[in-house]
Structures are given as C-alpha cells and as structure tokens.
Amino acid sequence: MFRFIFRLAAMVALSVSVIMAVLDTTRTVAASALVLTPLNASWLAVSPQTRAAFETFVRAKASPLLWDGLIAWVLDQPGFAVFAVLAFLLYAIGYRRQRRTGQFAAN
C-alpha cells in the first residue's frame, strides 16, 4: 500500500516537473535566451500566502539556519529540476525489486 502511495506521489511530482519544464522551454523560445524559473518565483506566483506561511513555520519550528542554508538554496534551483529529483527519490522509495529465486533454473 505504501509503495503505491510513493509511486503515485512520484508520478505527480514528475508531472509537475514536466509542466514546469514546458513552461521554461516556452519562455526560452519566446525570449531567445535560456530561461530557468526558480522554484521560489513559481511558488510566489501561484500562492504567496503559503510560501510566507511555510517560511514562518520553518523559522519558528526548526531553525532560521535551516531556512537560510538548505531550503533557500533549494528554492533558488529551477523548479523542474527540484520536482524531477523529488520524483526520482519517491520512485526509488516505492520501487519493488524483482525476486531472483528460480530465475536461472534449468527448464
């Protein structure tokens, strides 16, 4: 059951990654220059209230150093790359390995 949930979340993250990549590609063609939209800019464009609430939550509950060090760096990366890495990690967690018993048995 949990593997299914992780694989479903990986599929959603990969879908978001592809959508963000298409948007960046469209902007790149229109501007005739490479355009990579940071995740922070995309998040602020969609929902600035949740972005501010997330920053307040992390600074209050965890540490301002966590926000300034790790999370701010992740938010400065291109959105499609962040979601692609997230999709890979979720898929790796939900991956079901093949059983090797009887694979090399003589018929």
pLDDT at 105 over 80: no
pLDDT tens digits, one per residue of 4-47: 999 999 999 999 999 999 999 999 999 999 999 999 999 999 99
Orientation angle between helical segments 79-94 and 39-46, nearest 10 degrees: 100
Please say if the pLDDT value at position 53 is more than 80.
yes
Claim to verify: residue 73 and residue 83 sit in the same structural domain = no
Residue at 73 is within a domain: yes
Q: Residue 62: inside a domain, yes or no?
A: yes
The pLDDT of residue 63 is 84
User: Domain containing 13: what range?
Assistant: 1-37+79-96
How many domains is the chain partitioned into structurally? Answer: 2
103 lies in some domain: no
Residue 106 lies in a domain: no
Is 46 a domain residue? yes
For the chain, the three-class secondary structure string (H helix, E strand, C coil) is CHHHHHHHHHHHHHHHHHHHHHHHHHHHHHHCCCCCCEHHHHHHHHCHHHHHHHHHHHHHHCCHHHHHHHHHHHHCCEHHHHHHHHHHHHHHHHCCCCCCCCCCCCC
